[in-house]
Amino acid sequence: MKMVLLGPPGAGKGTQAERLSKHLDVPTISTGAIIRNEIKEKTQLGVEAHKYISEGKLVPDSLVISMVKERLSKPDCSKGFILDGFPRTIEQAQTLDSMTDITKVLCIKVKDEEILNRLSGRRECKVCRASYHIMYNKPAKEGICDKCGGELICREDDTVETIKNRIAVYHEQTEPIIQYYASQGKLAVVEGRDDVEDTTKAVFEALDI
Ligand code: ADP
Ligand code: ADP
Ligand code: ZN
């Protein structure tokens, strides 16, 4: 299964990708996580990308596309993968189509008002990048990752101002992709529910798994 997860920031893509990845036994490729890692490592790409990410803008297509190309060529992607956060522009979607055959695209829908709640309470594991929420998806021990014991931190771009920019960018640049995949007959849509488990159930049903 070669899957794309679509949806606004905070829709629950990362949360559901983690569950799908385990169930389907394929890797998740999160462009956001790769970029944040490059920033942490202070690579040239990281330095270049930082100015965009910190303002809630998209990193230029050319940078992100070459990153994904390299990642998809790794052997662990041969039997499938879940793309979380890519493509985010029509150009990225077209380039992806020229690289591989996507099986299915799942879009998780969440209202703009809810996005702010989700992202302002999001905490991310510094080590394994698992996503938590201070109200909706609490770790067993406050501030500590259930999966690896890593420290939970607030992402630099999860501030009110940046979140507003990211929502606007999503509507302008990413939303047109929904129609792009619908016209290919590959699109499934689910409502992002208030509860993580309910959403997972809806996602698995939509994918017939
Ligand atoms: P979220 O979890 O809020 O959807 P991501 O972790 O997927 O956010 O992405 C964080 C940021 O990384 C984006 O706001 C953008 O700056 C950059 N980014 C991630 N994926 C892409 C992409 N496919 N194209 C351009 N920029 C990207
Ligand atoms: P995305 O990758 O789409 O940006 P995340 O998976 O990181 O989204 O989820 C954003 C925030 O919302 C996280 O804090 C996460 O724990 C929380 N969350 C995810 N799914 C749900 C849900 N169905 N109901 C409530 N909160 C959720
Ligand atoms: Zn962790």
109 is annotated as an active-site residue: no
- Of 122, 184, 172, nearest in space to 8 by CA: 172
SS3 labels along 154-190: CCCCCCHHHHHHHHHHHHHHHCHHHHHHHCCCCEEEE
Catalytic residue, chosen from 104, 155, 164, 186, is: 155
pLDDT of residue 2: 97
Indicate whether 83 pLDDT > 90.
yes
- Catalogue the long-range contacts made by 60-68 (C-beta closer than 8 Å, 24 or more residues apart): 61/89, 61/91, 61/92, 61/95, 64/31, 64/35, 64/88, 64/92, 65/92, 65/95, 67/31, 67/34, 67/35, 68/29, 68/31, 68/92, 68/96, 68/99
Mutate to test the pocket of ligand 1, among 16, 29, 50, 53 (most ligand atoms within 8 A of CB): 53
User: 131-133 and 122-125 as β-strands: parallel, antiparallel, unpaired?
Assistant: antiparallel
Kindly provide the residue ranges of all beta strands, DSSP E only, lying in 44-93, ordered along the sequence: 81-84
pTM for the structure as a whole: 0.96
pLDDT of residue 194: 87
Q: What is the pLDDT of residues 49-80, one digit of tens each?
A: 999 999 999 999 999 999 999 999 999 999 99
| SS3 state at 58 | coil
Q: What is the pLDDT of residues 19-34, one digit of tens each?
A: 999 999 999 999 999 9
Q: What is the pLDDT of residues 104-113, one digit of tens each?
A: 999 999 999 9
Residue nearest to atom 3 of ligand 1 (CA): 9
Å from CA of 90 to ligand 2 middle: 24
- Of 65, 66, 74, nearest in space to 28 by CA: 74
